[in-house]
Amino acid sequence: MNVAKQLYQLQETDLEIESKEQAIKQIASQLGENQAVVRVQTKLTLENQHLEELKQQQHSAEWEIDDRVGKLTTGEEELYSGRIKNPKELTNLQHEVEGLRAKRNQLEDKALEIMDKVELTEANVASIGNELKTVEAEWHRQQQQLSAEMEDLKNRLSDLGQKRQSLLAEIDPQAVELYHKLRRQKGRAVAKVEQGICGSCRISLPITDLQRTRSGNLVQCSSCGRILFQA
Ligand SMILES: [Zn+2]
């Protein structure tokens, strides 16, 4: 096998190694990343706190109603007992009872309002709970998929590493040195010749260079300096 072809294969291997390493980095940054789940968990916590506050409001409203109803019952009993004969006292008590009734009605309206909010919030908590289950399931599925992809990439990378080693063992060390120098300088060290043109810098190559390349000699492009490879 001519040296240009060997170096071209080495380059193909190195480029694939680079792209696999990039993909592994990308996946590593996604593994364990659970922002979407945390976002819904936070939403659920806040909604539960809201529900707790509303339930406390509901309790104190009910307690307040019981208190008023107790006073109202006492007042009404007193009013209809016939024990109070003094008209002024009777009128005063009547006003007091009316006031207590109005207050009780007002508190009951407020309690109903709170109850509506409690129901609405309970429904929200349930729906966010379902959303969380969905998001968590999706997250687990994604993580499993990413782990599997990672596993494949690592296996592939290990194969490529072995391939690289065996290629290096076969290639003339001086050629390898030139290859590494050009890789550092230009990214790609080997250029494919396509219809007499350097595949990297697009210059038309002299006939002699083409002939020498075809015979398996190590020839560098006179313009970009890359090693020429003719398939
Ligand atoms: Zn060139």
Give the tens place of pLDDT for each residue, 171-212: 999 999 999 999 999 999 999 999 999 999 999 999 999 999
Residue 192 Cα to ligand 1 midpoint, Å, equals 9
pLDDT in tens, 40-93: 999 999 999 999 999 999 999 999 999 999 999 999 999 899 888 899 999 999
Share above pLDDT 90 across residues of the chain, in percent, rounded to a whole number: 94
- The reported pLDDT for the residue numbered 82 is 87
Residue 170 Cα to ligand 1 midpoint, Å, equals 25
Residue 125 Cα to ligand 1 midpoint, Å, equals 66
Residue 224 Cα to ligand 1 midpoint, Å, equals 4
Residue 123 Cα to ligand 1 midpoint, Å, equals 69
- The reported pLDDT for the residue numbered 231 is 86
Q: Per residue, what are the HEC states of the chain?
A: CCHHHHHHHHHHHHHHHHHHHHHHHHHHHHCCCCHHHHHHHHHHHHHHHHHHHHHHHHHHHHHHHHHHHHHHHHHHHHHHCCCCCCHHHHHHHHHHHHHHHHHHHHHHHHHHHHHHHHHHHHHHHHHHHHHHHHHHHHHHHHHHHHHHHHHHHHHHHHHHHHHHHHHHHHCCHHHHHHHHHHHHHHCCCEEEEECCEECCCCCECCHHHHHHHHCCCCCECCCCCCEEECC
Q: What is the pTM of this model?
A: 0.73
